[in-house]
């Protein structure tokens, strides 16, 4: 399995060379390229990328609005996400049921609901192909069934909206926002996940001194026995 971080920018104004495009991951396996998320930055650029399929985590602008004019391939998303995108001219729609593994181009995707937004409910995906096993969750406060989600995972790919500060707000009984990288690394430690890659970078990362930030992330990982690093646009990885 090959991973290409097509974009690593969160829903912020600022962009840099390393974090130019909205967060998206291309998962290549055998002869297929499956794109996870397609934010507004990708509008009009899909023909060039030519994905075999697109899978969505939620309907926020930085994850789904690149499909405003439709898609050149099948698109997979949870029912709640389709509800929001019902007016999009996407022809080949597929529903992903939560906690039900589904094979997409030979890769098994299992959606785990995560706390993040009331209006745009989000999921994270547990992916497996061959012996590779990863968990991809660009936006979250927490995973509802975390131990099942992270069991046996080799790489956790998580939310870089904030490093140590909390971005969590209360709305009635629900919570909205993002958990810090620090918290996510503690989950990895508890679940025995050996490696973490941080994507969906917020302004703390994008506007800050990235060399310093990288050291902070590496150190937070090291303290927990995890190899932790920051992703950047174009970063490639083979599992």
By CB under 5 A, residue 139 contacts Zn ion: yes
Q: Can you tell me which of 19, 60, 126, 133 binds Zn ion, judged by CB under 5 A?
A: 60
By CB under 5 A, residue 41 contacts Zn ion: no
By CB under 5 A, residue 22 contacts Zn ion: no
Size of site (CB under 5 A) for Zn ion: 4
User: Of 18, 25, 21, whose CA–CA distance to 45 is shortest?
Assistant: 21
What is the smallest separation between the CB atom of 57 and Zn ion, expressed in angstroms?
A: 8
User: Of 9, 26, 110, 109, whose CA–CA distance to 62 is shortest?
Assistant: 9
Choose one: 11-19, 99-107, 164-172, 176-184; the region binding Zn ion (CB under 5 A): 11-19
| Backbone Cα Rg of the chain | 16
By CB under 5 A, residue 62 contacts Zn ion: yes
Distances from the Cα of 164 to the Cαs of 3, 7, 28, 61, 172, in angstroms?
27, 22, 32, 25, 24
What is the smallest separation between the CB atom of 66 and Zn ion, expressed in angstroms?
A: 13
Q: What distance in Å separates the CA atoms of residue 36 and residue 122, rounded to the nearest whole number?
A: 13
By CB under 5 A, residue 178 contacts Zn ion: no
* Cross-strand bridge partners of residue 195: 155, 227
What is the smallest separation between the CB atom of 62 and Zn ion, expressed in angstroms?
A: 4
* 50 conformational bin, left if phi > 0, alpha if psi -120 to 50, beta if neither: left
- Which C-beta is closer to Zn ion: that of 11 or that of 210? 11
Residue ranges that bind Zn ion, judged by CB under 5 A: 11, 60, 62, 139
């Amino acid at each position: 399995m090959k991973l290409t971080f097509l974009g690593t920018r969160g829903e912020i104004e600022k962009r840099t060379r390393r974090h130019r495009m909205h967060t998206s991951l291309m998962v290549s396996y055998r002869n297929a390229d499956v794109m996870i998320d397609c934010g507004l930055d990708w509008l009009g650029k899909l023909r060039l990328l030519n994905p075999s399929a697109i899978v969505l985590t939620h309907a926020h602008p930085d994850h789904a609005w690149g499909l405003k004019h439709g898609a050149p391939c099948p698109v997979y998303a949870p029912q709640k996400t389709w509800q929001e995108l019902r007016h999009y001219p996407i022809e080949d729609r597929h529903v992903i049921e939560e906690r039900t593994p589904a094979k997409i181009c030979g890769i098994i995707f299992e959606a785990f609901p995560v706390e993040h937004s009331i209006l745009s409910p989000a999921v994270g995906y547990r992916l497996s192909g061959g012996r590779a096993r990863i968990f991809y969750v660009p936006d979250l406060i927490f995973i509802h069934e975390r131990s099942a989600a992270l069991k046996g995972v080799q790489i956790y790919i998580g939310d870089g909206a904030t490093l140590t500060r909390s971005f969590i707000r209360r709305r009635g009984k629900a919570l909205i926002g993002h958990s810090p990288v620090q918290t996510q690394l503690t989950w990895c430690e508890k679940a025995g996940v050996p490696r973490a890659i941080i994507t969906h970078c917020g302004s703390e990362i994008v506007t800050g001194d990235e060399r310093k930030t990288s050291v902070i992330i590496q150190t937070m990982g090291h303290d927990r026995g995890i190899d932790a690093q920051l992703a950047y646009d174009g970063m490639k990885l083979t599992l």
